[in-house]
């Protein structure tokens, strides 16, 4: 938790309490349904929570904004972001039922009122969103195809509506066809070695009505 406070010193008591609860909730549920590797559970705040919150370093979400988390897995990046932005609406989607079960239980354990959870493929869900967030569930062209038609028309943030994607490694080939893409290195915000190759990719997308 010291790690989180180091980079997010403005957190309220309620937010800190919720984030502190994450460790126990994930350790408990991971014994029943394995969604996080053992090594990652021991470094949950570095590898999952702080990594997820890297998106917030690039773009803070406004009250009332709608965010879609695709392939949320165990609830990342959606759960930590929902704690950080309690007035923003988050829709967490994953096609794997056992993972969604963990997300539901963790969300309930934290009493998150701003989270909606759906067990489905993203193509089967409706709605329009300011941003679509995810942690490297597919190559960008595939991800863009999956999320087609889900971006809201009106842009209310510093960054244009679109995808905010947590990715690592060399992205030059994967992103070569996207002329409007921006890449933010997480080493510009965090000093831990874990983030050396980690990035937030922003791809603006136009509304398709």
Check the annotation: does 122 bind a ligand. yes
pLDDT at 209 over 80: no
Pairing of strands 198-204, 162-168: antiparallel
More confident residue, 169 or 65: 65
Mean pLDDT across 200-208: 93
Please tell me the distance from the alpha carbon of residue 74 to that of residue 158, in angstroms, as a whole number: 29
Predicted confidence at residue 37, as pLDDT, reads 81
Task: Determine if residue 123 is labeled as part of a ligand binding site.
Answer: yes
pTM value > 0.95? yes
Q: What percent of the chain clears pLDDT 70, i.e. is strictly above it?
A: 100
Looking up tokens 């570095």 gives 46
CA 75 – CA 81 distance, rounded (Å): 10
135 is in an annotated binding site: yes
Tens of pLDDT, residue by residue over 64-93, are: 999 999 999 999 999 999 999 999 999 999
CB 88 within 8 A of CB 114: yes
Q: How far apart are CA 117 and CA 101, in angstroms?
A: 9
């Amino acid at each position: 938790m010291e790690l989180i406070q180091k980079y997010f010193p403005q957190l309220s008591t309620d937010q800190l309490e919720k984030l502190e609860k994450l460790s126990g909730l994930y350790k408990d549920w991971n014994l029943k349904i394995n969604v996080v590797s053992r090594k990652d559970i021991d470094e949950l705040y570095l590898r999952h929570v702080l990594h997820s919150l890297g998106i917030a370093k690039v773009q803070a979400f406004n009250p009332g904004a709608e965010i879609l988390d695709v392939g949320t897995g165990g609830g990342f990046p959606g759960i930590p972001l929902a704690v950080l932005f309690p007035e923003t609406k988050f829709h967490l989607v994953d096609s794997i039922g056992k993972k969604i079960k963990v997300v539901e239980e963790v969300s309930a354990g934290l009493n998150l009122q701003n989270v909606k959870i759906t067990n489905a493929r993203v193509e089967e869900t409706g709605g329009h969103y300011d941003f679509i967030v995810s942690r490297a569930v597919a190559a960008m062209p595939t991800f863009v195809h999956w999320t087609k038609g889900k971006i809201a028309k009106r842009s209310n943030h510093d960054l244009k509506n679109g995808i905010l994607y947590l990715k690592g490694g060399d992205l030059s080939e994967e992103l070569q066809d996207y002329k409007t893409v921006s890449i933010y290195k997480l080493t510009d915000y965090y000093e831990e070695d874990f983030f050396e190759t980690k990035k937030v990719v922003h791809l603006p997308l136009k509304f398709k009505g």
